[in-house]
């Protein structure tokens, strides 16, 4: 069986992933979700574990929590916006939002100090989260540094009692050269996910964890440990959704550490425009061929930008798709349209960032 590495993999074979690791198709629960989001209806969220529980909470206005975390490293790119869109959606549905800044993991896995993590999380990520519309001033929003959350650290220690090194090795591929702090960090992630169910936070409740598929090892370990500690804490096994990664502008996975693949949220409009204009598309080799054969939107990073972030209206999107397939529009026009939409988004973000900075600086 293949192994998923949460610290470095770039998995894109979603079908194989669902087959091998037992992730269920998200479309199976779609009709149970009131007012499903675009990320859901467009298949960007492709997989789930135990989502029925969350759908039931959504339908019947029952309490549930949303939990996610970030390991601050590098700049925030447009692919990261997907998590914010999901948090916003759940926040609007009345869910408590828990957001962990994994500074202990950043230290153990990447050697980033706590101060660097805090600074990077607030200035690069949280400011953008706020500018993108997440309401961090609400009582139901909980932001913390792992290293400063006593409940999380204590819980991580306690649940460690029921995991062996051999299990950790088989899940994560740790070997004799892995430092012990790193071996411990998955337990912190498990505790992050489970702690909203502690008495202090209102006791057991369904929890949804929206993540990329590279985080599934943490989800599986968490669900396993939740079941083992059910008698003691009443933990309900947390649910998860899995979203696709954005293809980078060069055709490989979008990555913070590869500037040519990514549009950063703090890029100038000039730089972002340049990146869009030179992005890899699903266009044909010549104009003549494109007019005859049509383009290939499913292999196009520009079309992906429209689907994931820039076009809200499904009809408009379908229109672009059909025109691309029939060869009626050419990549140059399409890129120009993406630039205009992206410019609107970036101008809006820029206008909100100053206020976002003022709010973010007092959060931790």
What residues make contact with ligand SF4 under the rule CB under 6 A? 281-283, 295-297, 300, 302-303, 324, 329-331, 334
The neighbouring-strand residues paired with 97 are 66, 141
The smaller minimum CB distance to ligand SF4, of residues 329 and 363, is found at 329
Kindly provide the residue ranges of all beta strands, DSSP E only, lying in 40-198, ordered along the sequence.
Answer: 45-49, 65-70, 96-101, 141-145
Residues 6+ apart with CB under 8 A from 304: 246, 247
C-alpha distance across the termini of the chain, in Å? 41
The smaller minimum CB distance to ligand SF4, of residues 238 and 327, is found at 327
The smaller minimum CB distance to ligand SF4, of residues 185 and 281, is found at 281
Whether the CA torsion 312, 316, 321, 327 is positive or negative: it is: negative
Q: What's the closest the beta carbon of residue 340 comes to ligand SF4, in angstroms?
A: 14
Q: What's the closest the beta carbon of residue 111 comes to ligand SF4, in angstroms?
A: 40
Q: What's the closest the beta carbon of residue 339 comes to ligand SF4, in angstroms?
A: 12
Q: What's the closest the beta carbon of residue 247 comes to ligand SF4, in angstroms?
A: 12
Q: How many CA atoms lie within 13 A of 254 on its CB side?
A: 25
Q: What's the closest the beta carbon of residue 43 comes to ligand SF4, in angstroms?
A: 17
Kindly provide the residue ranges of all beta strands, DSSP E only, lying in 83-213, ordered along the sequence.
Answer: 96-101, 141-145, 207-211
- Number of residues that this document lists for the chain: 364
Q: What's the closest the beta carbon of residue 290 comes to ligand SF4, in angstroms?
A: 7
Q: What's the closest the beta carbon of residue 299 comes to ligand SF4, in angstroms?
A: 8
Report the alpha-carbon distance of residue 115 to residue 127 in Å, rounded.
17
Report the alpha-carbon distance of residue 178 to residue 231 in Å, rounded.
33
Report the alpha-carbon distance of residue 179 to residue 310 in Å, rounded.
42
The smaller minimum CB distance to ligand SF4, of residues 221 and 342, is found at 342
The smaller minimum CB distance to ligand SF4, of residues 210 and 282, is found at 282
Name the token pair of 99.
């957001």
Whether the CA torsion 341, 347, 353, 355 is positive or negative: it is: negative
């Amino acid at each position: 069986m293949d192994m998923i590495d949460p610290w470095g993999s770039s998995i894109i074979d979603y079908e194989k992933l669902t087959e091998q690791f037992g992730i269920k198709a998200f479309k199976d629960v779609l009709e149970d979700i009131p007012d499903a989001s675009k990320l859901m209806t467009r298949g960007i969220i492709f997989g789930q574990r135990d989502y029925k529980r969350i759908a039931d909470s959504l339908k019947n206005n029952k309490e549930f929590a949303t939990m996610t975390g970030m390991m601050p490293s590098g700049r925030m790119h447009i692919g990261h916006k997907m998590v914010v869109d999901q948090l916003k959606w759940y926040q609007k549905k009345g869910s408590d939002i828990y957001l962990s800044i994994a500074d202990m993991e950043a230290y153990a896995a990447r050697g980033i100090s706590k101060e660097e993590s805090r600074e990077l999380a607030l200035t690069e990520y949280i400011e953008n989260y706020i500018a993108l519309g997440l309401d961090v001033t609400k009582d139901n929003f909980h932001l913390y540094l792992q290293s400063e959350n006593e409940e999380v650290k204590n819980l991580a220690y306690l649940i460690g009692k029921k995991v062996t090194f051999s299990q950790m090795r088989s899940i994560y591929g740790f070997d004799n050269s892995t430092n012990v702090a790193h071996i411990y960090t998955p337990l912190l992630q498990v505790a992050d996910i489970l702690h909203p169910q502690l008495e202090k936070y209102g006791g057991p409740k369904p929890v949804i964890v929206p993540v990329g598929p590279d985080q599934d090892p943490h989800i599986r370990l968490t669900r396993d440990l939740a079941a083992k500690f059910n008698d003691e804490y009443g933990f309900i096994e947390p649910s998860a959704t899995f979203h696709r990664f954005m293809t980078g502008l060069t055709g490989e996975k979008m990555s913070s550490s590869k500037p040519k693949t990514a549009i950063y949220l703090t890029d100038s409009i000039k730089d972002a425009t340049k990146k869009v204009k030179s992005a890899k598309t699903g266009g044909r080799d010549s104009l003549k061929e494109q007019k005859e054969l049509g383009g290939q939107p499913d292999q196009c990073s520009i079309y992906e930008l429209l689907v994931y972030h820039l076009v809200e209206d499904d009809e408009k999107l379908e229109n672009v798709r059909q025109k691309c397939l029939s060869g009626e529009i050419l990549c140059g026009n399409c890129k120009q349209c993406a630039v205009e939409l992206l410019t609107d988004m970036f101008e809006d973000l820029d206008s909100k960032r100053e206020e976002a900075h003022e709010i973010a600086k007092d959060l931790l």
